[in-house]
Structure 1
Amino acid sequence: MRRLGSVQQKMPCAFLTEVRDEPSRKREWQQFQVVASERVNPVALDSNVDAALATEKVDGTCCYVSSYKGEPYLWARLDRKPNKQADKRFRRFQHFHQSNKGFSWNIEDDFKNVPEEWLPAHGVQQVNGNPVPDENGHILGWVPVEKYNQQYRWHSSVVDYEDGLALVLRPHPENEDMIEITSRPLSELLEQTLELIGTNINGNPYGLGDKKHPLHVLVPHGIFQIRKAPSLHYQQIYEWFQQSDEGRVEGIVWHCADGTLVKLHRHHLNLKWPVGDTFLNTRPVVVHVDWSGDHLCDSSKNLFHAFSKLNGQQFGCLRDVHFES
């Protein structure tokens, strides 16, 4: 079975973690919290995390660009989850054993149906040709974003398959103090994972657009480098999140030289997120979208068309980017 790109959420935490028997602040369905201890994870130490590139963990929904129907396509994160009966059996097992080790899944009978095009993510273990669920009972995977699928309409809004383009937020290539919203060839993003952020994603912590004029963009993973990253010591990291302007982010992802990715989320330190104005909203943004597509029936509702009308304009921050009625 073909498998697609790794899912960012499976990265190890920078610190060894412990489980607390209280509801998660991050996931409403999760009845426990995963919090960081003060001990650095040996995985991070073995990968020389002190010499790693530290980048901002952006708060969105994970996406992937890979081939579909012979063309570069955007794929949305879709985990295959247990049906109600299997989930109850799994939760009972966890309760009595204080672990999920030894639980037996029936892949054919225990899981909800997924679209025919669904594929498991790279890194998902396989046994006898069947994907193995993770510790939460989920099988991580992807589904291609079709143009008129309402379930993924916000994903669809940031791609133009006819012209092979995607709307991307990234650092300005010539001014490190600025960021830019631009259109990039999907072929340029092949085999990359990204975050979709915007009006209707995760409570919109970056303040993009509004209900009348939703605004969404893709952010390639690892693209926003943390310039003055703290050392990987618990107290220094904690103070950095609390006191530094650059620390007003969802988390940090360290890119180690051996290819290992290590993460730390504010929730691991029992810190609040979102935090009002995020660090992304401290930087001016310029729009560089030159789009003249005429293949849509109603281009006035197209996000590429809306951004093209702002082409060349600069704004104080992401919150200030708005479209005219």
Structure 2
Amino acid sequence: MRLGSVQQKIPCVFVTEVKQEPSRKRDCQQFQVVATESVSPVAVVAQVHHAVATEKLDGTCCYVSVYKGRPHLWARLDRKPNKQADKRFKKHQRSHHSCKGFLWSVEEDFKPVPETWVPALGVKHHSGQPVPDEHGHIPGWVPVEKDNKQYCWHASVLDPDLRAALVLRPSAEDGDALEVVPLPLADLLERTLELIGTNVNGNPYGLGSKKTPVHLLVSHGALRIRDPPPVDFQQLCSWFRESPEGRVEGIVWHCHDGTLFKVHRHHLGLRWPEGDPSLGERAVVVAVGSGDNVFRSGGGVVVRKDSFALFSALSGRRFSRLMDITFTL
């Protein structure tokens, strides 16, 4: 079973409510969305109790699709309202205790985006214009260009010559361990992945350092939870608090009809990160082929210092913890 691609914001597996108190997840947000103890009726219909539970990763979403005729990595860029429209939207939220019923003008209310921006799959359109979701965002993607500093950490996991990316996945030989491998972008077409690492979301997994940043891609749904708790508010709270495997940002359930649901620790009033996340403590094997860390330029040999070169120097090494990966420069 190939697990779902993440194109839209994933709804919570529980019915949620808005509390007028500072958010634990987002600075400067004066409200937070919390879960009630009732499982979402939509999730029940989708048979979430029989779904595949996977780890929700704390990174930034990416997408592999064709750009200029070739497989290419795209970065997530949600089109968001400008300041004036955002004020009107929040005023509507406060007075109606809901996002429903707010009228948008896509042409006037939203910040500009690059010409290369495309809306995510599944975004509804009206009169040729993409329609914002309930949060007032229009999910979308922009291609990662190597000369764009905003996406330099996305570019760091790519080898433009090999058309490949550095991917972290469960080891084929040891299910408890992970492995870092280069995969052709063509093998990842139409998949979404999470970019994690040193300069993403405060680096909760402890990857790399300021001197030698480490970034990797993880396919969504790749990290299955081996013994997941039932979809029950109290049992999930206990699992997050007490189980070593529960030291994760959240859970994403992949239903058999392709529907996705999630729960974040913040939905349950729990902190994140809490201690050392379980991902950072898993053993990892580096399986990036050696010999690719030099190239010829103008008749001379230039030593490469990108992520592929750094990992190729460690090819065959096994580390007891993902966070222990270190490079000798």
TM-score (normalizing by structure 2)? 0.93
Deviations 1:93-146 (A, max 9, x none): 333333332222221121111000000111211111101112222111100001
Using the TM superposition, give the Cα deviation of residue 9 of structure 1 relative to its aligned residue in structure 2, in angstroms: 5.8
Amino acid at match of 2:314: L
Using the TM superposition, give the Cα deviation of residue 192 of structure 1 relative to its aligned residue in structure 2, in angstroms: 0.3
Match of 1:308 among 308, 312, 316: 312
1:237 aligns to what SS in structure 2?
A: helix
Task: Quote the Cα distance in structure 2 between the aligned partners of 1:13 and 1:73.
Answer: 30
Note the 1:214-229 alignment, pairs <5 A.
214-229=213-228
Q: Is the 8 A contact 2:65 2:71 kept in 1?
A: yes
Using the TM superposition, give the Cα deviation of residue 289 of structure 1 relative to its aligned residue in structure 2, in angstroms: 0.6
- 1:176 maps to 2:175: yes
Query: Mean Cα displacement is larger for which, 182-191 or 8-17?
Result: 8-17
Q: Is the 8 A contact 1:80 1:114 kept in 2?
A: yes
Q: Percent identity?
A: 61
Aligned to 2:109: 110
Structure 1 residues 262 and 188, CA, compared in 2 at 3 Å: closer, same or farther?
A: same
Amino acid at match of 1:317: R
Q: Is the 8 A contact 2:5 2:191 kept in 1?
A: no
Task: Quote the Cα distance in structure 2 between the aligned partners of 1:243 and 1:298.
Answer: 50
Deviations 1:51-109 (A, max 9, x none): 11111111100000000011110000001111122222222233333333222222112
Task: Quote the Cα distance in structure 2 between the aligned partners of 1:210 and 1:284.
Answer: 19
Aligned to 1:322: 326
Counting matched residue pairs gives 321
Task: Quote the Cα distance in structure 1 between the aligned partners of 2:124 and 2:316.
Answer: 47
1:294 aligns to what SS in structure 2?
A: strand
Using the TM superposition, give the Cα deviation of residue 149 of structure 1 relative to its aligned residue in structure 2, in angstroms: 0.9
Amino acid at match of 2:295: D
1:133 aligns to what SS in structure 2?
A: coil
Query: Mean Cα displacement is larger for which, 267-276 or 101-110?
Result: 101-110
Note the 1:84-95 alignment, pairs <5 A.
84-95=83-94
Runs of 4 or more consecutive aligned structure 1 residues displaced over 4 Å after TM superposition: 295-299
- 1:165 maps to 2:164: yes
Task: Quote the Cα distance in structure 2 between the aligned partners of 1:8 and 1:299.
Answer: 38
Task: Quote the Cα distance in structure 2 between the aligned partners of 1:93 and 1:191.
Answer: 36
Deviations 1:143-166 (A, max 9, x none): 000112111000000111221100
Using the TM superposition, give the Cα deviation of residue 298 of structure 1 relative to its aligned residue in structure 2, in angstroms: 6.1
Tell me how large the CA RMSD over aligned residues is: 1.7
Query: Mean Cα displacement is larger for which, 66-75 or 276-285?
Result: 276-285
Note the 1:1-325 alignment, pairs <5 A.
7=6, 10-290=9-289, 291-292=292-293, 294=295, 299-325=303-329
| Structure 1 unaligned residues grouped into runs of 5+ | none
Structure 1 residues 268 and 295, CA, compared in 2 at 3 Å: closer, same or farther?
A: farther
Q: Is the 8 A contact 1:60 1:196 kept in 2?
A: yes
Q: Is the 8 A contact 1:194 1:221 kept in 2?
A: yes
Q: Is the 8 A contact 2:7 2:139 kept in 1?
A: no
Task: Quote the Cα distance in structure 1 between the aligned partners of 2:8 and 2:248.
Answer: 16
Using the TM superposition, give the Cα deviation of residue 200 of structure 1 relative to its aligned residue in structure 2, in angstroms: 0.4
Q: Is the 8 A contact 2:24 2:32 kept in 1?
A: yes
Query: Mean Cα displacement is larger for which, 96-105 or 197-206?
Result: 96-105
TM-score (normalizing by structure 1)? 0.94
